[in-house]
Structure 1
């Protein structure tokens, strides 16, 4: 299946099948937790199973998850490079790290991510039971491989953002199915994520559509998880699998900004004018003050030819005498809201391997520098030279800072390396994870709030 609009395909498919839960009209009047609510779905044959899977992708592309706002906005604001200039103050709490359990963005993001978990759980539970329904073993394996990967991504994001989460591995059929389920800590969740990815790696077919799960996407994902779990040799090995694949390559920033599904993307979510993201309306506008704005410090870094290099194309100054220090990012510049979401890019694999090579028991600093400089040179930045592991690691951190300036990496990078206090001044480590949303605590008294909230 080539590049296509996922939600439009669902609309033209079996309209009665859906994995999207109806959003609560009132934030505080609906205590049911999303991971405890059943999806109205019927998976009975190959066609309905495919439609169900597309529903999970649709949930992944929800505006509150990877559709341009919500989860991504929270993480980007927490990373210290963006400022909030809108009127909704619950966003600004991520800049100041004063978020609370009743934060609307956290609640909406938590719900959106759990819809992906629950939808994937339905497929994982039901597809193996389909017999004599026109579903071949190859189709069955592909459906399951994609579902395991989607569940892994959602649970990975929940764990790195909230730390301690209920690890739900079965579909919910009624509101009390998993009431009382104890939370798992971050490392326990990461272990389950890797287990799901191991299964997916064995199941997934020879699919080359980068808008859906592919084997290289699973490799890239495993490299990231191994980086987070400090398994340096495995992080290096899986990143190397992606880098060695000739289907991918580091392309110019102009190509990334002007195109879609370039050789840079390992897994990219597609949007269109019929299936819009919310990037442009939240991030970019010359006509009115955008609500998510790059900081002046970030603007200066990206425009510095020795730091940003070709990445100066990611940002512009649209200041006027009436609007000073008014900067707009250009990664998500399309006014028809068909900007893609970059889940995994090749540049990340180079920087993962560079960091892993620097940190493993017997460091490979020459290899680490080669990977770091591949990303720098692509952006017309001079090679970095050093024989100090500490200096190389700081250079990698800085390179990730500008390379992923508008992608949700910076906050998680500083938290996983223990540097959020030093770099951002967030000395209270309890603020390095978000509070469990109020709604879920009200729905299930067995849930325990994260310390400090």
Structure 2
């Protein structure tokens, strides 16, 4: 999959930005006569969609928005960019480059998916294969819309394939209400679920039916449709296709591909421009540190806060696997410096070119989401059973006798340390309505003047896109 993704130079009548989405480039247009003629063309196009969506993770754009904006992480680099500081201080402006990158990547993925879905039924080849391709494309489109609606609120919706500027000009590309976006997401995922085979896909970089069910459960949970979420997540549990890894460390170190716990992942490969930058952004910018081959230094851009390190319970086996506060220097001495360990490739010659795979969805998330759905449905005692499965792996004592409110906080604490650096913290806090309470208390405890206001629960629509598309309107407050 890694080599296929890199080898592809897939040209479509789609967008690399919202501008390209609205203004087709003739040299990049592919007509029905020159492409999309057989099964192989659609397989190649689908790999192109996966290649695009991995851009959310390759350079940590999504992690900047979902981890650095929270009490999990902060910048320790001495010369951060203005865009990085905006995210660290929750003072994001419409010109922020990381926000723009996520917006564009999601829209590009949607456009590529549309190209496949709108052409595939006109081409004759094996129906089972055709259904699989359609299901994967619908999942990728839904996943992109899910990121967009949670990050930005109202966003454009289009299922069209554009073959001329006139078609673009006549299209409705205004911002649509969140409810309409969620309707699109659920429709795509429901269809994808019916199209994909129920058997386990051993290649965890590709979408399977259980991948779809897991995301659909997360969508329902976000919508506070707890009964629907519980039903869908229980289907994943009952399928018994996944299980918790006995050793938490295996989830985020070299060789962590296609694990029993993994539901969806992005694979990376060092030395061939296929790596990620986690080893740089999660580790300190210290010139004399000696944790990488050749004593390379990190960049200190997304390092754990002291509050995060202190949030681990005594005896939690995840702590020594996830974070450290002592860095080895050249010569063997130790120096205090907080840094992340998960997804860091300590074998990488270049910390900006790591090979550890990134996990997008995994079974522990299914268990904790299911516990949340049960608890919100008043089944607190039942919910504890699933929370305690995750705690048992972390070598922590089982919890019992909690009230519904207590279990909410217990799940919040558990998810924070279980999914550190997996891009979940911001979404979790916003979903549960706890973002302002938790983050503003964190800033106050640090005697910082930062705060999260009501309007900042959504990020600004990128100004570049508004300038190019007058139909877009800026989110209130920006």
Task: Please report the TM-score for the alignment, with normalisation by the length of structure 2.
Answer: 0.84
Note if contact 2:14-2:20 (Cα within 8 Å) is conserved in structure 1.
no
Match 2:161 to one of 146, 165, 171: 171
Q: Which stretches in structure 2 are left out of the alignment for 5+ residues?
A: 285-290, 441-450
Number of equivalent positions: 431
Q: Is residue 343 of structure 2 the alignment partner of residue 332 of structure 1?
A: yes
TM-aligned CA deviation for residue 22 of structure 1: 8.6
Name the Cα RMSD after superposition: 2.4
Contact 1:166-1:184 within 8 A present in 2 as well: yes
Match of 2:362 in 1: 345
2:66 matched residue in structure 1: 75
Instruction: Indicate how the Cα distance of structure 1 residues 403 and 117 shifts in structure 2: closer, same or farther if over 3 A, else same.
Output: same
Aligned positions of 1:30-429 closer than 5 A: 32=19, 34=21, 37=24, 40-41=29-30, 42-62=35-55, 65-86=56-77, 87-131=80-124, 135-174=125-164, 177=168, 180-205=172-197, 206=199, 208=201, 209-251=203-245, 252-258=247-253, 259-273=256-270, 274=272, 275-284=274-283, 286=291, 287-288=296-297, 289-302=299-312, 304-306=313-315, 308-319=316-327, 325-334=336-345, 335=348, 336-360=353-377, 363-425=378-440, 426-429=451-454
CA spacing shift, 1:320–1:368, aligned 2, 3 Å:
same
Report the alpha carbon displacement of residue 144 of structure 1 after superposing the two structures with TM: 0.3
Give the unaligned 5+ runs of structure 1. 25-30
Aligned match of 2:471? 446
Tell me how far 1:415 sits from its aligned partner: 1.1
Q: How many Å apart are 1:122 and its aligned residue? A: 0.5
User: Which one of 422, 436, 450 corresponds to residue 461 of structure 2?
Assistant: 436
CA deviation string 1:176-207 (max 9, x = no partner): 61665221122321121010001101111345
CA distance in 1 between counterparts of 2:176 and 2:434 reads: 24
Contact 1:19 1:55 in 2 (8 A): no
What SS does the aligned partner of 2:57 have? coil
Secondary structure of 2:19's aligned partner: coil
What's the offset of the Cα at 1:355? Answer: 0.6
SS at match of 1:326: strand
Partners of 1:357 and 1:365 within 8 A in 2: yes
TM-score by length of 1: 0.89
2:68 match: secondary structure: helix
Counterpart of 2:444 in structure 1 is: none
